[in-house]
Structure 1
Amino acid sequence: MKPITFLAVVTVLSVGVAQAADVFMPGFLKHEFFKDQTRATVEAGTAGAPTRTEFLTSFETAINFDDNYANRISGFFIPDATGDYVIFICSDDDQDFFISTNDQPATKRLVAQEAGWSNSRMWNTVGGGGSTASQKRSDQWSPDAGATMPYASGIHLVAGTRYYIEAVHHDGIGGDDFSATFKLLAEADPADGDVTKFTNNLIGVVAPDSVAIVKQPASRRVLAGSMVTFSVTANTPTARFQWFGKGSILTGETNSTYITPAVTAGDNGATYYVVVSNSVNSVQSSNAVITIGHLIAATGYAEQEFFSGATRTQVEDPTFTTPPTSTAALVAFETPINQSDNYAERVTALFMPAVTGDYVFFLASDDDTDLFLSTDATAANKQSIAMEAGWSNSRNWNTTGGGGSIVGDKRSDQYGGNTWPGAPTIHLTAGTKYYMEAVHHDGGGGDDLAVTFKLAAEPDPANGDAPRLTGDLISAMVLDGATVTITNQPRDTAIQQNTTATLSVGASSAVIGDATVTPGIFYQWQTSPSSSTTFTNVPGATGSSYTTPLLALADSGIQYRVTARVPGLTATSTVARVTVTGDIIPPTLVSAASLRNSTNVGVAFSELIDPVSGGVTGNYAIAGATVRTAFVRT
């Protein structure tokens, strides 16, 4: 039997290798996604390998699916009529569109550009950021500010001929879209909203004819009751898929993505895989394993439940029992921006105020949100305290975006629907836990959600301020299994007196049984006097690096360490000591100038100077003037 098995394997492999080749496949374009890259780096060839690659059936990507990325669509345009063509593009943010004189990328020419941003399929109008309608169409595009328009009479193409096309797009933050279309010169312009005509047999791509798996399905750690999504990416558009689960074929599950029914505790350890095939060969993916996790109490986190395809009204309905599509632990009462489209989410936490007083809560979201606060730690007594009826950009606490948004409704002290006992005043007691919940919905376009607060007597938060609902002020029941490891310890350092020291730490986090999630890490720096073993938190020092205040000689030997926390686990760094030495280098004069409308002179030095010697008039000399007084201002 062994020789037969060996020969059978060789035969299969030989057939696959012999027939493996790149072939032309009509009806597809190649889409390459580059996370944290720019249009310039992709066009220069310095962006490295794409984060992922897929195939599109038209010249258009999904809208609002990420931030801070670049992507490239490439393939061939095969016109069905000989004539002079006009290319139209739109994107958010910038885009360059190229077309070659033949099927070779080497002859590509830039023919249209998006300099700013435009909403999806807005072929004739612009959004902003420097976008101009004329640059978005090839017959009006100019490489030299209007001095010439090289394709004003159209781009002449021959029917049935393959022409290489390529567009490179970049998105910063906010909404994102990317598409292109065309017309013959004599035809009417496409209307805003028209779908792209780059589709079906008018486009094509060269891709391998043998199938291979580019991205394997990933194992997941979830709660019982969740529906788990597995996906696989293949290298060719001719790939076919068949999923298997728990040892059996899953009839009818023939897409690149498979969503399980709601899982139970008995599904712990269940394995799933997919067979990817075409007419040349077939390959089996690695196993993806389900791990059933549990909820744990975690300080410093809020819980996010994400419901794909749901609305705010549905999620708020007490009879709504659909399990969330996914859950996540958040390090603040704020969700990532531009997560998706057509979804609802519920964010919950226990708020434990540090100070007794009257509080005002602020909300910003895109699109609609209801904000609730309970009079105790249970959801049963939650009260409506603010709402977003339309949309606002991320962290825009004091302004609105549109869609019926009202600034007053976004803050609890001005919201007419506030049901808190004694509203609009919300009096909270330090150390008491209050259940907080926000239910948010997004239709299309950009999306964001954040909540913050102030004491009534404090100034309002400024637009852009980070939410204060973070750290020890919040806690939630979140999924277990998170791990954290300190990868770079803070190091001992030596400085001169009256200067600062900067310490840093590196840490990584993961979830046991789930490579798709990276838990947020909450840092807290701590300090202790020399030789002491008692450490106290440094207020506000919650980043991966910390800069000390100015240290004196008496501070020499002061100790610092940092804790790195994920839900259910905290790692503590080694101790770093700061040695402070005497400053033997005298300060140098940086600048001197007369102060406006006075006989005073301001003198700036390279470092702090001694207040006593700095106040001695004899230490200064000004040509043609007498120094009568001197003092040090720090």
Structure 2
Amino acid sequence: MHLVLVGIDINQNQMKMLKKNKCILFLFGAIMVSISSYGAAPSITLATGSDSFNEVKVIFSEAVDSATGGNASNYKLSGGLTISGANVEAAPNDNTVILQTSQQSVGTEYTVTVNNVQDLSGNAIEAGSTMEFSSFIWQEGVVLHKFWQFDETPNLETLQNDPRFPDNPTSVTLEPYWEYGPGGSNESGGNYGNQLVGYFVPPADGNYIFFTNSDDPSNLYLSTDDDPTNKLLIAQETGWSNARSWVSVGGGSNVDDKRSDLFWESEWPTYDIKLDAGNRYYLESIHTEGGGGDSVAATVIRTSDPDPQDGDAPTLTGALIGTYLDPNVAAIPIKQ
């Protein structure tokens, strides 16, 4: 311990300098006592992979500074994984670092080791700090549903521009059918946006037709493979329809736009969507709701099959769908 005689009237720059030099300050009249080691050092509270299998999220006990937290050389991963970059998220999430990694294997245990990362007061993490985690696992028969509550009616643009989207929803559930509300219900809330994300696994090679249905508007996207960044708009509800109304509309929509083979603004290169059996194709519904009835759903048929009938449950269920889940966090409830 050492004593520092300073005036009571300390300015902001002096305070910052004392904090930078790791001092805790106690004011006694005209004498300020400084004790070395300002605050506790950061520690790792959680590490987790991602559904892209090329990122690792490291969460610390407190905010970390961008210079040391964003230095990729301060991190190492087991299992032969390499790290190409590190980024500290913006406040108030600046206790989180996203690592860009080489391709992870599904459902594999890894260990992240951290050195030299400092908090905002300059305290460094204990040398050789580690945390074990598992990469994401495949879960057949469910789709991930993310829900964002709003104070006022959102639209698709405001939902996607909201700072909580897509990683910080109000709630998350697993749905056994590609739909929300559960069981084809037509009243599950108001002033919200939601997203159904998962994968379609074709049972056979061939051409497929996808249908979307919602109250209020929604977009349906399909990727050319399992990579979400390759998703293309294939169907759309611009107004509203009652729950499970595949071949009719309520108001403000064009029934042709709700099916992938007739939607003239489709981003798919052909109206026939040819897919290969057993491959996983990323699929996404995004939807917003104001008031009154509300729902969002999608279904699929082979081109040789008859059209679905209004009221039919989605065919996107069971072995035809699945999603990747994070085994490092608490279990997600299944709604239906």
- TM-score bin (small chain): 0.5 to 0.7
SS in 1 for 2:310: coil
Can you list the C-alpha shifts for 1:7-51, whole angstroms capped at 9, x where unaligned? xxxxxxxxxxxxxxxxxxxxxxxxxxxxxxxxxxxxxxxxxxxxx
In the alignment, which residue of structure 2 is the partner of 1:462?
309
In the alignment, is residue 473 of structure 1 matched against residue 288 of structure 2? no
Instruction: State the match for 2:200 in structure 1.
Output: 351
Report the number of matched residues.
206
Report the CA distance shift for 1:518/1:364 in structure 2 as closer, same or farther (over 3 A).
same
**Residue 374 of structure 1: aligned partner:** 223
Q: Is the CA contact 2:160–2:166 (under 8 Å) kept in the aligned structure 1?
A: no
Mapping 1:119-518, distance limit 5 Å: 296-309=137-150, 310-317=154-161, 320=165, 323-336=168-181, 337=185, 338-402=187-251, 404-422=252-270, 424-480=271-327, 518=333
* Structure number, greater radius of gyration: 1
Change (3 A) 1:434 1:321: closer
Match of 2:334 among 495, 503, 519: 519
- Kindly indicate whether the alpha-carbon contact (under 8 Å) linking 2:192 and 2:290 is maintained by their aligned counterparts in 1: yes
Deviation at 1:413, TM superposition (A): 0.8
- 1:522-533 equivalence runs, <5 A: none
SS of residue paired to 1:314: helix
2 CA distance for matches of 1:462 and 1:307?
Answer: 30
8 Å Cα contact 2:147-2:195 kept in structure 1 = yes
Give the counterpart letter for 2:188 in structure 1.
Q
Q: Offset of 1:321 from its aligned partner?
A: 5.8
Cα distance in 1 for partners of 2:94, 2:175 equals 24
Distance 1:301 1:426 in 2: 23
Query: 3-state DSSP class of the match of 2:196?
Result: strand
- Output the amino acid matched with 2:201: M
Report the Cα distance in structure 2 between the residues aligned to 1:348 and 1:399, rounded to whole angstroms: 25
Look up the SS of the partner of 2:179 in the other structure.
coil
The residue type equivalent to 1:419 in the other structure is: E
Distance 1:384 1:408 in 2: 14
Alignment-mate amino acid for residue 216 of structure 2: D
Inter-CA distance 427–316: structure 2 relative to 1 (3 Å threshold) = farther
In structure 2, the CA distance between the partners of 1:420 and 1:223, relative to structure 1 (3 Å rule), is farther
Higher relative contact order (CA 8 A, sep 6+): 2
The TM-score normalised by the length of structure 1 is 0.30
How much does 1:478 deviate? 3.1
Q: 1:572-603, CA deviations, whole angstroms, 9 ceiling, x for partnerless residues?
A: xxxxxxxxxxxxxxxxxxxxxxxxxxxxxxxx
- 1:401 aligns to what SS in structure 2? coil
Are residues 468 and 322 of structure 1, via their aligned partners in 2, closer, same or farther at CA, if it must alter by over 3 Å?
closer
How far 1:317 sits from its partner (Å)?
4.9
- CA distance in structure 2 between the aligned counterparts of 1:296 and 1:398, rounded to whole angstroms: 36
* 2-structure distance, mates of 1:375, 1:318: 27
Change (3 A) 1:454 1:377: same
* 1:189-221 C-alpha deviation (Å, 9 max, x unpaired): xxxxxxxxxxxxxxxxxxxxxxxxxxxxxxxxx
- Which segments of 5 or more consecutive residues in structure 2 lack a partner in the other structure? 1-45, 49-91, 97-132
Contact 1:394/1:448 (<8 A) preserved: yes
Deviation digits for residues 465-502 of structure 1, max 9, x if unmatched? 111111111111235489xxxxxxxxxxxxxxxxxxxx
The CA distance in 1 between the partners of 2:207 and 2:289, in whole Å, is 31
Whole-angstrom distance in 1 between the partners of 2:259 and 2:142: 23
Please, what TM-score do these two structures have when normalized by structure 2?
Answer: 0.55
Change in Cα spacing, 1:343 to 1:381, as seen in structure 2 (3 Å) is: same
Structure 1 gap segments, 5+ residues each: 1-221, 225-260, 266-291, 483-510, 522-634
Equivalent residues of 2:211, 2:260 under 8 A apart: yes
Encode CA deviations 1:227-258: one digit per residue, 9 max, x unaligned: xxxxxxxxxxxxxxxxxxxxxxxxxxxxxxxx
Rounded to whole Å, the distance in 2 between the matches of 1:468 and 1:264 is 42
Contact 1:262 1:323 in 2 (8 A): no
Give the secondary structure class of the aligned counterpart of 1:466: coil
Quote the Cα distance in structure 2 between the aligned partners of 1:340 and 1:293: 35
Residues of 2 paired with 1:411 and 1:223: CA distance?
A: 41
Amino acid at match of 1:409: D
> For the residues of structure 2 that align with 1:370 and 1:407, how far apart are their CA atoms?
14
| Residue pairs, 1:559-574, within 5 angstroms | none
Q: What percentage of residue pairs aligned between the two structures are identical? A: 37
Secondary structure of the corresponding residue to residue 358 of structure 1:
strand
